[in-house]
Amino acid sequence: MIDFVASVTLLVGGLVCVLNFYFSFCRYALHRFRGGSRESYRWKSGIPLVGSLLVTLSIVKFYEVPWILTVALVLIAIDTGGIHWFAGVLIYQNLRRKRVD
């Protein structure tokens, strides 16, 4: 039963991670590739924190399986709704503001 719950947690969290990545990078590129203008694009938001959190919880069960651990870490890395992206953006904006001042 625990394996099933951990698998579902990994699957749902992974889907949210991929969805966040799609909204952040792929969707705009596809819009422009199809001939859409910058002005006609409507930004959509992903689901913050949920994907990375669910995948991290599933790692507790699957950390001994190397390929699942690798997939989980990649999913966490690409999740633009994760806390690590939030912290990275804040640091980047802070450093950029200091260079401009």
pLDDT tens for 16-72 read: 999 999 999 999 999 999 999 999 999 888 899 999 999 999 999 988 999 999 999
pLDDT for 42 equals 92
pLDDT for 73 equals 95
Distance CA 98, CA 80 (A): 24
pLDDT for 2 equals 80
Distance CA 94, CA 74 (A): 26
In 3D space, the residue among 4, 17, 20, 25 whose CA is nearest the CA of residue 72 turns out to be 17
